[in-house]
């Protein structure tokens, strides 16, 4: 790590492509509520009863239980998901010994990363303690409160003694991220870099620049991975750590002294296979890199300025494999790939420590994940940049959501196998739980996925050439959710599959409508269906060349069980062919429903896509169909017929229409819990209804919302997504004769998968909504 870096006033903090202005950073931390974190209650605290349970007298009961058995603190408190980020501010980033108060923004930031990437709660503890004994005493006293301790920015060599002592004397994980985080992430990069370079780990020569916490820990970890101790040369500000050197030595450096004639970093680099830098800016030169062995591996990890810049390193050697600590170049060795997920796995098995086996498992999981196909969601997070395993993609990107699903289970498994886990878990169930915690949408859809897998319904995709459709089809087929049928030019579709290496789509059915053996038969059949509605045979020929019409007729004729379309077409245009060919159910109208997934539950919004200004009769029909859809998700529907008026307190044609629609719903389905017309806030507050509208027939908060027109519904779901961070499933198309769904133009791969799963399940089970 860099040592003498102080950002000058009124300049960019980080040089390079991605710049952060000093003024912007200060404003970010000071505007609104100062800092970056807050404490939010997880239990309701709205009534006197709630408060009596949260605090006195109710709180006494869990206290008494924990007094009998301290391990029950994991059941009755947040201890099992709480980590202390502890620092004394003696080695903060590249800023040096700036003290605990000045280091607090960094520790708050660490807490943000724990929460963002692994949903772990954090208290940052910034202590005014300089000596090893003081730090050890403070941290040991914290054990009853926390499930784990993350030591941060404590200078070397004191950090070594502090961590070693705490690990021996505490029964919860203690992890100095400055040491082991960098070691694990760079270790994963080393595994893959050696594979690409065609070199064996027990034969490579390694040069290490730096002798602080990160450098020593990385070197030790590389030895665990298989590097030979005699093949390592450690260099500090005094030069090479050679056998017999006395100047600037300590017990940790002495561990790596070697018999060598090399005295400088330049000497050490000659013929070396690997350079690891955890030191300071500019210590490695292009000339040094030119003296290294073929396919040199250079990890220049000093921050914010590496030992040599990425462009300089690449210019020095064409065959270089390079990583830095910076996000603006490939192969960023970023500790956020490690600590959130390592602690997640350790906490979830109540590990007593984080041992070598667990660290090794994390590195191997990261190395393996880098070789997997990178999903579109990751590319989208990095401005559309595509990634695939190679010299410029050694390890996963920090924003790859799959890291949680690979690393945390690997940690949990290693803890159980090595005997440090106090709680055993089923790893398959654990992965599924992590997946649900990561995606509220996945949690809602998990039942649909499971049911859809019982029978592989055939789902046709008219936009089979599109990369998003291909990616979704790969996932759907790989997971056994449905059997995709792709429409489009056969050669172009196959080329897209090959270029994206979508192995699960091998042998998938691809149909180019004009070239299909069924084309003429489909033209005749379509003309037969539409000839008394002004359709000429020539027009039937033209339309059947359009994949939307061809796919719809496949569903009509039973050649496909359902259809998903609309990725590249506006909704109104995309729905036209299904309405003409598949039709709605007799006496029914089509309607679109979004399932809006919030942090704590999910709601059904209708009609969000089809009917511009539905009549009272149409609103009633939409309400009944949407309630049936809710039951599909094992939800007891409570239907709110929405308006700007509540129970007649405002006049106008819209409230009157909604009021009439509510009466019709009650006649159509007396079993439904429905009320209206009602304003949205009142539909969502049982407390308000009890006081102000005790006659309301909604016995709990509404979960099905029927809007008076398309404007209101469409605006509402988009605002919730854009402002409140709601996740969306849909739109689910109701009222059709056979399973057809229309995507919103340009939607994500995840949305395509969700809607295809819904389509497959409806095709499999039959449906009435």
Token readout for 731 is 């739109």
Q: Which of 226, 214, 223 is nearest to 258 (CA)?
A: 223
Quick check: helix, strand or coil at residue 315? helix
Q: What share of the chain is helix, strand, coil (3-state, %, to 5)?
A: 45, 15, 40
Cα 277 from Cα 235, distance rounded (Å):
10
Cα 303 from Cα 326, distance rounded (Å):
7
CA angle centred on 99, ends 301 and 105, rounded to 5°: 65
Q: Which of 164, 97, 99, 157 is nearest to 136 (CA)?
A: 164
From start to end of 542-688, where are the E strands?
562-565, 591-597, 602-606, 638-642, 673-678
Q: Which of 446, 491, 492 is nearest to 729 (CA)?
A: 446
Please give the DSSP secondary-structure letter assigned to residue 332: B
Cα 136 from Cα 168, distance rounded (Å):
11
Q: What are phi and psi of 460, to 5 degrees?
A: -95, 135
Cα 618 from Cα 616, distance rounded (Å):
5
Residue 351 and residue 344 in contact, taking contact as beta carbons nearer than 8 Å: no
Quick check: helix, strand or coil at residue 749? helix
Contacts of 407 (CB under 8 A, 6+ apart): 337, 338, 341, 342, 344, 345, 362, 365, 366
Which residue in 110, 220, 253, 397 is the catalytic one? 110
Pairing type for strands 232-236 and 82-87 reads unpaired
Quick check: helix, strand or coil at residue 121? strand
Q: Is 494 a catalytic residue?
A: no
Residues 730, 731, 733, 738: is their CA dihedral positive or negative?
A: negative
Q: Is 55 a catalytic residue?
A: yes
Pairing type for strands 82-87 and 602-606 reads unpaired
**Biggest alpha carbon–alpha carbon distance for the chain:** 100
Bridge partners of 564, per DSSP, are 741
- Report the chain's C-alpha Rg in angstroms: 31
In which element (H, E) is residue 483 found? strand 482-487
Cα 52 from Cα 233, distance rounded (Å):
63
Residues 680, 684, 687, 690: is their CA dihedral positive or negative?
A: positive
Quick check: helix, strand or coil at residue 129? coil
Token readout for 472 is 């979704």
Please count the CA atoms within 13 angstroms of the CA of 685 that sit on its side-chain side. 13
Contacts of 424-430 with CB under 8 Å at 24 or more apart are: 424/349, 425/348, 425/349, 430/348
Token pair 């996945």 in the structure block, residue: 442
CA 46 vs. chain centroid, Å, equals: 32
Cα 566 from Cα 576, distance rounded (Å):
10
Q: What are phi and psi of 270, to 5 degrees?
A: -65, 115
Cα 480 from Cα 457, distance rounded (Å):
10
Residue 742 and residue 609 in contact, taking contact as beta carbons nearer than 8 Å: yes
From start to end of 152-218, where are the E strands?
174-176, 206-209
Which residue in 55, 75, 200, 238 is the catalytic one? 55
Residue 77 and residue 62 in contact, taking contact as beta carbons nearer than 8 Å: yes
DSSP structure string for 404-451: HHHHHHHHHHHHHHTT-BSS---HHHHHHHHHHHH-HHHHHHHHHHHH
Q: Which residues are catalytic?
A: 55, 110
């Amino acid at each position: 790590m860099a040592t003498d870096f102080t950002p000058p006033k009124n300049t960019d903090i980080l040089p390079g492509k991605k710049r952060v202005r000093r003024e912007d950073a200060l404003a970010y931390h000071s505007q609104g509520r100062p800092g970056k974190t807050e404490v939010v209650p997880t239990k309701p605290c709205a009534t006197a009863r709630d408060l009596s349970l949260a605090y006195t007298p109710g709180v006494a009961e869990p206290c008494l239980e924990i007094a009998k058995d301290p391990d029950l603190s994991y059941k009755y408190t947040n201890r099992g998901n709480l980590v202390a980020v502890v620092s004394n501010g003696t080695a903060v980033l590249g800023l040096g010994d700036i003290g605990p108060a000045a280091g607090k923004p960094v520790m708050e930031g660490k807490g943000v990363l724990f929460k963002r990437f692994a949903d772990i709660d954090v208290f940052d503890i910034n202590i005014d303690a300089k000596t090893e004994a003081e730090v050890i005493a403070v941290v040991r006293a914290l054990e009853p409160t926390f499930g784990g301790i993350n030591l941060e920015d404590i200078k070397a060599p004191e950090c070594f003694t502090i961590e070693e002592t705490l690990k021996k004397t505490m029964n919860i994980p203690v992890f100095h991220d400055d040491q082991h985080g960098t070691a694990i992430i760079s270790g994963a990069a080393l595994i893959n870099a050696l594979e690409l370079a065609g070199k064996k780990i027990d034969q490579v020569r390694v040069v290490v620049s730096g002798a602080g916490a990160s450098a020593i820990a990385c070197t030790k970890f590389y030895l665990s991975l298989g590097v030979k101790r005699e093949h390592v040369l450690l260099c500090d500000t005094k030069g090479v750590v050679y056998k017999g050197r006395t100047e600037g030595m300590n017990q940790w450096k002495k561990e790596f002294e070697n018999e060598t004639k090399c005295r400088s970093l330049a000497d050490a680099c000659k013929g070396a296979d690997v350079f690891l830098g955890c030191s300071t800016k500019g210590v490695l030169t292009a000339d040094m890199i030119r003296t290294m062995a073929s396919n040199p591996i250079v990890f220049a990890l000093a921050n914010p300025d590496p030992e040599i810049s990425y462009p300089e390193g690449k210019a020095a050697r064409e065959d270089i494999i390079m990583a830095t600590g910076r996000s603006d170049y490939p192969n960023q060795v970023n500790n956020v790939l490690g600590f959130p997920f390592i602690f997640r796995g350790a906490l979830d098995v109540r590990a007593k420590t984080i041992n070598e086996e667990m660290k090794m498992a994390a590195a191997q999981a990261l190395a393996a994940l880098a070789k997997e196909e990178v999903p579109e969601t990751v590319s989208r997070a990095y401005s559309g940049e595509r990634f695939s395993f190679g010299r410029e993609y050694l390890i996963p990107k920090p924003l790859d959501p799959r890291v949680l699903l690979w690393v945390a289970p690997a940690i949990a498994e290693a803890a159980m196998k090595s005997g440090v886990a106090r709680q055993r878990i089923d790893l398959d169930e654990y992965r599924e739980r992590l997946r649900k915690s990561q995606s509220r949408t996945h949690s809602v859809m998990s039942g649909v996925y499971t049911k859809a897998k019982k029978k592989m319904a055939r789902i046709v995709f008219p936009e089979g050439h599109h990369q998003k459709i291909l990616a979704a089809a790969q996932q759907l087929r790989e997971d056994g959710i449905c059997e995709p049928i792709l429409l489009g030019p056969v050669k172009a579709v196959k080329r897209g599959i090959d270029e994206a290496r979508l192995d699960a789509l091998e042998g998938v059915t691809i149909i180019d409508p004009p070239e299909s053996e069924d084309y003429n038969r489909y033209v005749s059949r379509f003309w037969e269906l539409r000839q008394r509605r002004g359709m000429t045979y020539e027009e039937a020929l033209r339309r059947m060349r359009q994949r939307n019409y061809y796919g719809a007729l496949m569903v009509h004729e039973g050649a496909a069980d359902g259809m998903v379309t609309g990725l590249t077409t506006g909704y109104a245009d995309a729905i036209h062919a299904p309405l003409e060919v598949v039709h709605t159910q007799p006496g029914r109208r089509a309607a679109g429903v979004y399932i809006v997934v919030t942090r704590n539950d999910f709601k059904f919004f209708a009609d969000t896509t089809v009917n511009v200004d539905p009549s009272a009769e149409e609103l009633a029909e939409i309400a009944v169909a949407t309630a049936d859809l809710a039951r599909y998700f094992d939800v007891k529907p409570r239907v709110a017929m929405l308006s700007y008026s509540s129970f007649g307190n405002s006049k106008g044609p819209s409230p009157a229409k909604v009021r009439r629609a509510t009466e019709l719903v009650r006649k159509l389905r007396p079993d439904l819990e429905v009320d209206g017309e009602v304003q949205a806030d009142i539909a969502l507050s049982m407390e308000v209804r009890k006081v102000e509208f005790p006659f309301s027939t909604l016995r709990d908060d509404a979960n099905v919302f029927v809007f008076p027109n398309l404007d209101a519904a469409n605006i509402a779901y988009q605002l919730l997504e854009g402002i409140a961070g709601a996740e969306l499933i849909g739109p689910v198309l109701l009222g059709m004769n056979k399973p057809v769904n229309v995507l919103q133009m340009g939607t994500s791969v995840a949305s395509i998968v969700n809607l295809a799963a819904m389509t497959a399940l409806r095709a499999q089970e039959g449906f009435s909504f």
